[in-house]
Structures are given as structure tokens and as C-alpha cells.
Structure 1
């Protein structure tokens, strides 16, 4: 909800709560692109202008914040992540820095006693075998070197594959019987024995064994995770939380957010991407009165989220042609075309925005086909449906997406790891038209930026660096990935500010520093538009404001 402010109030009547001055504001508002100071009342921007004119509005009670000449933008928006998953990873062994299976084993051993205290399991996350000296998947044999007495489960960075040790296999009963799974794989070795690798829905065998946190514990985890996001300049997120835990925990999760809002403890705006895989789950959700647009303070129900395939790294992204480096598979389709169309139709006709996870070109094509059918049969004004990731594409697919006016939820930071495997997986020709942000921008498509955290960190600055340069921020001396497919700095900033707001139907409320919008802003150490491109990655967040309240400061 926006607060209406009259011209008379702005000119003479409102007593300003806070004035941020001595800044270098890039407002992203074409009518007033630059400013030195911003005045805020009740969380709303009431005036944007020069230091002199804005400071003249200050009264005795007005808080004045000197930005020390620093560069400021609208607050960053992360259009796709998994907030509660991220919160849970803080209790796990972080394996993203491992550069070999031996290093991963060593990291787990070092934290074996501490991390396994809470529930008796050692859990790890973030590993990527493509970063290792020998890029092969670990198995139970590797994890048994950590412990054969404590159950262990380590999840790949993409969250589409988990590896468990022999003790976990025993506890889960997989040494006796392998359950039949429609969308998952329990891998076996040459002797028909479970090797410890679980792909896609097979991972739920592990998570079903785990418990669910209490309401208070969950609230604390969410608040802590949101404060971490604020420290990176993020003021709004779109998060897919509903399947973080096993069982029906949707009511628990929504209640946690509601109570955090009521207690004034939700630091950033949250737009829930509602993962509801079946018609029955979607109908039960709708029957409770929820749909896109339901709002409770900073918490808002967003799109129906559907998963249509897996990940490129795990070779479960659904492809039209077999993988170049494994011709035995085309990946995993999590719906067939009829099922997907049914889910889209049900969501669309019940007022839901829809966002579909699609990485492989076959998954994207299936989603486009279904959208075309449903939107032709049931026209609806401005539904803002979209595709999350939309990585492996060709120009024909992009043109079809454009015609449907589908949103693209992109993660430029994926290029950090994926640039090393794209051509191996799909070949150079298809690789050259993939991760093609330039093609989206040239067609004036709605392209918002996100991180998919905890798949990647939700640090927006390195994400922007990838969008602009096509390089790995950790190894910027490496060649860029198809620099002709990159974005300009301005396009990138728009993708992480205004487009994020647009994807949440909030472009009239946030996304630019404009009178009448929420005072959501970020202050940076350097001017993104002025530093050389190779220095973008080094810029630091100095302050983050939501509703004019400082949620993080290093000034």
C-alpha cells in the first residue's frame, strides 16, 4: 500500500522524520535522475533534491544522516532465492571453497563433532565437483572416510543432488529396499548397491527423516537470514520456502512471517514464490484464501512456483538432445506436458502469477507451449507469468518468450561456475546463445536479477559484475563468457532494482528513488557507473535502508 502525499504537504506541511543528505543519488527515475538528498516521512520518500533544499525541511526532531558523498541507488531486489534454505545452511558445513574431494572431507572432519550435535547428523552444502581438481561426484566411499558412525549428507551447490554415507543409507533403509520414485534417482554401483548419490526428489528420503524447527526457532532463522541480505544492500526478496521442510509446513512458514511482521522483526520485503507441485496442494492453498497479492505488511504472497527440471551441473536440466558429455541422458522432466499445462491453467484461472523453474531448452519449450495454450484459452490482463533461470536457449525460444511477454528471472552469478561446463554439457553452438541476457534486453523483455541463494551467495555486487563482464569475480583474469551477451551497467542496475519491483507488481511502490515510493535505498562505496568494469566486484555496501530505517550500516 502506498501513502498518498499531496503537493501542499510536500511544500509546507510534513515534518520530515529523516533526511539522508550529502549523497550521490542515482534515482533510476527518468524525470529526476540525480540528487544529493532525500527526505523521508513514515517510511515514504517525500522530497528528492539538493542538499540545500532538502535540509531546509529539517526540524528539531528530524534525524539527519550524512552519507559522506557516497553513491546511492534504490535498494537491491533479489528476484529468486531460498531464504529459509539459506538460513538452514548456516548450521551446515560450508563446502563451496573446497577444491578437491580431499578438501571437502577435511572440512567435514574438522566440524564433525560441533555440527552433528543438534540432530545427530553431519550436514554439508555448497560443493561443486566442477571446481575440484578431479571433477567427479563423491560417493558413500568418500563420505565414509569422514565417519562410519555418524550419518552424513552433503548437498551439491545446485540443490538437485545429495550424497550420503553408509550410516545414512542404513538409517534410511536404502540398504534393504530402494523406493520407486517418479522424479528422482537413487544411484547404484556396478554391483547394484546404493552408491550414496541421490538426485532430484530422491533427496526427500533424507529430508523426510529430519525434523521441523519450532515456530520461534524458525522466526529467529528468518530474521537472521534477512539481516544478512540487508548487509548486501538487499531490501526486497522473492523466496521459495514452502518445501524447505518435509510435511505440510506452509501454515507454519506463513505464520512465522506474519509474527515477524507484527513484532517489527522482518528487516526486508518478502514476496513468496509458492512451490505447490500438485493440483491438490494448489487447491488447498487457494481454499485458505491465499493467492498472488495477499499482503501482510512486508510479507506478500507472490507467484505459484513450479519446478520443470533440474540443474545443468547435475545433468538433470531437461534437454532436447542428449548431453554432449553423457549421451545416455537428456536430463529429468519433472512434469509431462499435460500435467504442466493443467497446473498452469489452474493457477492462471485462479488469479495466480506463475513462475516456472526451467534450465534446459526442452523444459523451457514445454513451459512456453503450455503458456501459449493456457493464455490463448483463458486471456487475462497482465498476469506477469515468467521463467526462472531460462538458461539454455536459442533465438527462436527467446522470440516465443517475448511474444508471451513472460518475465525472465535471471541469475548472472551462475556464469561463475557454469562457464566451465556449458560447452561440455550442450555444445558450443547452443552454448553461445545460452545465458543470453543481451538478447532479452535488446527485445525490451522484463529481466530481473537474482542469486538463487544458497546455490550462490546473495551478494548483489558480484552478481552485477557477472552481468556486465561475463567473468568469474573470483578469477577475473579468465576469459569472459560471450561478452557480446552481457548487459550495460544501467541495464544491470535496472534489473536488480526496478525490474525486481515490477516482477512483484510493486513498480509503483519501489524500484526508484521517487516521491511517494517507499524509502528503500542502498549506499555504496563507489559509483557503479564511474568505476572501470573490472573494479565493480570490489564495491562495498555501506548502508541499507528499508522504509527509511537503517537496517545495515558501515558508514
Structure 2
């Protein structure tokens, strides 16, 4: 497969011979995971021209007498963290919009929207994200009238925390022409009242009825979002992320950013399967810039929706909604052609599947596509793999499918998952340890901005399966807990493997990029309940310090 390389000005500078002496950081409690020997400790790291020369004990300094030596002051050093599933510009937009995460009611959310509107009165639309009706007293979906009370004349668009539902006001419904007579689109649902009138909540593909009227994103907005997201991720020790679904506009934008050497966090971008120009982008071939800041060699597809909005496709009806089996966002009849197109192009295919039916359909289509066009060696992935039938879990191993999972989803969903699907189906839900024991590679992420981007929250959830208050004691479905080493591997080396990048990222072996972080506590020595409190002190990318926590 021919890779198209982007040569940035930063690479040309390196190639010109402008080399500095090695740098050594010593007096650290260093940890990384080697593919063969597992967790390995060191107290000194030496790097040059952005890449690791060696790691070991302080005697290394004798081998590099010209090195600039930095004192790590006994802090813990880890490889830069890799978030294997996030939405970079979505995170940046979220940081710049009204944030409804954690608010206790629809009324409190509407009041927050009003405050934001008062502070930004010139906006054509009020846009935000983060509401979650599961946290509210009645657990009921909100309504347009609750927003109309505060903002009747400016259209409002508020995405649910999982991005699979939107709450809008009557002005937005009017702009989109949504009435009692509007039909539900395939893979979507307009929530209606007893008289059939739209209430103001749109599920999955129904969201597009309003979304197409939102202000178009331009380069200025994208740049602001990228800058905000980048600084946020660096402050959290995330040096690389897998961007789960980029459109053609973002595809072009990222390439230009890489050419201009403007990327400070590594991006492994998945092309959106829904983009009209998908075939054109596939025909252009994989892309890799010379500094490994941007790779594009995968596609993100969708099977179903999300569990919280009852859009995840289930084999049997929801336990708390006996007539609802969820939604397929991509029609079942369209899946074979998508799988064959992507795999025959030599691109990795990563498919969102949350419900047990969604996961089974994806596994079935991988099996069928392998028979027709091959592609089993592409390290294809199922994104989320949240609720999987017990009989389907072994198929991940048989089909060489990576389970790309987000530990914080379990601790976020544990207050509603059993209500949604009952106790029996939970046996195949959020089953991290079960996947690992059968030899399936587990790549960990957060799905930001659905969840907070803090990977130490994910590490904590993976190891304890408890919330930040220690509930439930001993963990929810505790047999699926991970060890600290297993969790760190999923956020480093196996995250790199899931992007075909384990030869350049994932640990601090000689020859790999010097991406590393210093943190304020030793996650291998503290009680696991405290892992989420970890603070990043410094973040380094390619041997350059990109973040320093202020005293």
C-alpha cells in the first residue's frame, strides 16, 4: 500500500542538520510497557532530535557526556497517553460553547443556556452540549417549551452528552420545518407527545433535520477549536488521539495544519463513512506526515446509536421500553458495500457498535467482507463494543478485531445500564477483562467530549469500576476490572498498535518519539481510588516541552 507523505517545514529543518545535543532527564520514577516483557522501570531517559536514545539507570549519563541533564525531582514519568477514540474539533467546540454537563435538571440547563445567551447576544444560534436526562429527577427527555420560556426568538441546539440526541427550541423546529406531519427519517426518531407533536428532542439521524441549518464551520472556527482542544489535551498528558470520524473539510484542514507544522498533538484521523467524498479520499490513499503528527489510513462507520437515548440496536427489546429495539444508523443493506469499499482500499475500518445487535451485524459483515475482499490484517476495530452477546465475544479474536473501548462509559452508564438491558445482558457489557483474557487487543479512550478527556479518569474507571466517591464499593461488575498495568497498556502501547503506530509510539524504546509526561503521583503505588486525582506536571511531544503546570 502506497503511503502519501506530507513534508512539513519542521521536518525540513531537522533534515537540514540543525541538531541539538542530547537531553537527559534523570531522577524520575519511569514506567513503560514493553511488548514482550511488560511493565519496565527506569530512572533516566535520554533523547535527541525528538526521539529516544535510551532509557535505564543513571549510569546512562556516562554514555552521553554532552547531554543537557534535567532533574526530574523524583516525579513519575510515563509515555504520553494515547486516547484511542475522541473527537478533536468537537472537544474544541465544546470548550467554546455552553456546557450543560452534570446539571441537575432541564430547568437548570435552560437557565444556563439563558446565561450563555445573555453573555453572547449576537450569536445567530445558541449551541451547546452535555445534557443527560438520566441524571435528572424524573429521567424524562426535556422539551422545546422549557427552552422557549427563556429563549423564544433565537434558535437553540443542544446535543445530549453522548452526541446521539439533540434538544432544540420551537424556533429551531420552525426553521427546520418540523411539524406533526414530519416523518421520522431512517435511523432516527422525532420524539413526540401524546398528540403526535414534536417535543423538541431528536434522536440520531433525526438530528440532521435541524443540524443542516446550523452555521457552517469555517477555517477560523476550526482553528479556534483545534487550539482550544490541543491545549486542553496537553494539560491532561494526552500526546496522541484517534479522531473518530472526520469529514472532507477537516481532512483538508488537518493536512494543511501538518504541512505548516502547526499540530502539537498527534492525530490518527478516521475518515467519516458518511462523507459524500469518501471514495475520493480513499482513492487518494493513506497519508502520513514526516513527523508522525498526522496519519490518515482508517474509516469510521456507524452501526447503531447510544444506550442512554435507547438508540443502541438490541437483539431483544429494551428492558425499560418493551417496544423499542434501538436504531441502525446505517441501513443493514448498505453495510456490505461499505465494508468491501473500505477494506479493498487497504484502509482500516473502525465501526461504532454499542448494542448486541449492532455488534453482531458488524462482526457478520467483517466475516463476509474478509471472504470477498480480504483485509483481516488491517487491524479493524469495533468502537465501543459496549454490550456484546456472550456468544459473539470470541468472534473478536477469531476475526482479529480490536476492541476500542472507553472505561469511563461503564462508570457513567452503571446508573442506567441495568434498567436499559437487564441483568442477564450485562454479562457481556463493558467486558474488558473478558476480551483481554481471550487475547483481544484492547485500545482505551474517552470518547471526548461525550466524556471528559482526562485519561486518568479512564485509568481509574478501568482499575476500580467505581465512581469518584468510591461507589459501588468493590466496583460495578468487578470481575471485569483491569490491573493498573493492563489499563496503562490500553492507553499507551495498545493504543499505538490499534493505529499501526507501535513502531514509533506507545512506549519509550530507543528510536521511538520522545513523547512523555511527568505526573504528581505514582499510579502504581497509590491506592487505586486516587488515580483519578492525578495531575500532569509536564507534557513533552517529540522531545519538546508542550505543557508546564503553573505553581
Q: Scaled by the length of structure 2, what TM-score is found?
A: 0.92
Q: Which residue is 1:512 aligned to?
A: 507
State which of 27, 30, 33 in structure 2 corresponds to 1:25: 30
SS of 2:339's equivalent? helix
Q: Which residue is 1:238 aligned to?
A: 242
SS of 2:392's equivalent? helix
Q: Which residue is 1:263 aligned to?
A: 260
CA contact (8 A) 2:462 2:482 kept: yes
CA distance in 2, matches of 1:422, 1:45: 44
Q: Judging changes above 3 Å, is the alpha-carbon distance between structure 1 residues 521 and 264 closer, same or farther for their aligned structure 2 residues?
A: same
CA distance in 2, matches of 1:462, 1:512: 20
CA distance in 2, matches of 1:175, 1:377: 45
CA contact (8 A) 2:184 2:206 kept: no
SS of 2:391's equivalent? helix
CA distance in 2, matches of 1:532, 1:50: 26
State which of 39, 53, 58 in structure 1 corresponds to 2:46: 39
State which of 282, 285, 301 in structure 2 corresponds to 1:286: 282
State which of 437, 441, 453 in structure 2 corresponds to 1:442: 437
Q: Report the Cα offset of residue 154 of structure 1.
A: 1.4
State which of 108, 111, 114 in structure 2 corresponds to 1:109: 114
Gaps of 5+ in 2: 6-18
Residue by residue, what CA displacement relative to the aligned partner does 1:239-268 show, whole Å, maximum 9, x if unpaired?
02425xxxxxx1x32332223223332111
Aligned residues between the structures: 529
Q: Report the Cα offset of residue 177 of structure 1.
A: 5.7
CA contact (8 A) 1:76 1:235 kept: yes
Q: Judging changes above 3 Å, is the alpha-carbon distance between structure 1 residues 336 and 153 closer, same or farther for their aligned structure 2 residues?
A: closer
State which of 446, 459, 464 in structure 1 corresponds to 2:459: 464
Q: Which residue is 1:11 aligned to?
A: none
Q: Report the Cα offset of residue 447 of structure 1.
A: 0.2
Residue by residue, what CA displacement relative to the aligned partner does 1:69-107 show, whole Å, maximum 9, x if unpaired?
111111100000111111111232111120122221221
CA distance in 1, matches of 2:24, 2:519: 18
SS of 1:301's equivalent? strand
Q: Which residue is 2:13 aligned to?
A: none
CA contact (8 A) 1:131 1:417 kept: no
Gaps of 5+ in 1: 2-13, 244-249
Q: Which residue is 1:495 aligned to?
A: 490
CA contact (8 A) 2:370 2:376 kept: no
Residue by residue, what CA displacement relative to the aligned partner does 1:41-96 show, whole Å, maximum 9, x if unpaired?
1111012122242266243xx54332211111111000001111111112321111
Q: Which residue is 2:9 aligned to?
A: none
Q: Judging changes above 3 Å, is the alpha-carbon distance between structure 1 residues 313 and 116 closer, same or farther for their aligned structure 2 residues?
A: farther
CA distance in 1, matches of 2:419, 2:48: 54
Q: Which residue is 1:303 aligned to?
A: 298
Q: Report the Cα offset of residue 216 of structure 1.
A: 3.6
Q: Which residue is 2:10 aligned to?
A: none
CA distance in 1, matches of 2:376, 2:207: 39
Written as runs of structure 1 = structure 2, the 5 A alignment for 1:76-225 is: 76-118=81-123, 120-175=124-179, 178=182, 181-225=185-229
Aligned-pair Cα RMSD in Å: 2.0
CA contact (8 A) 1:125 1:155 kept: yes
Q: Scaled by the length of structure 1, what TM-score is found?
A: 0.91
SS of 2:325's equivalent? coil
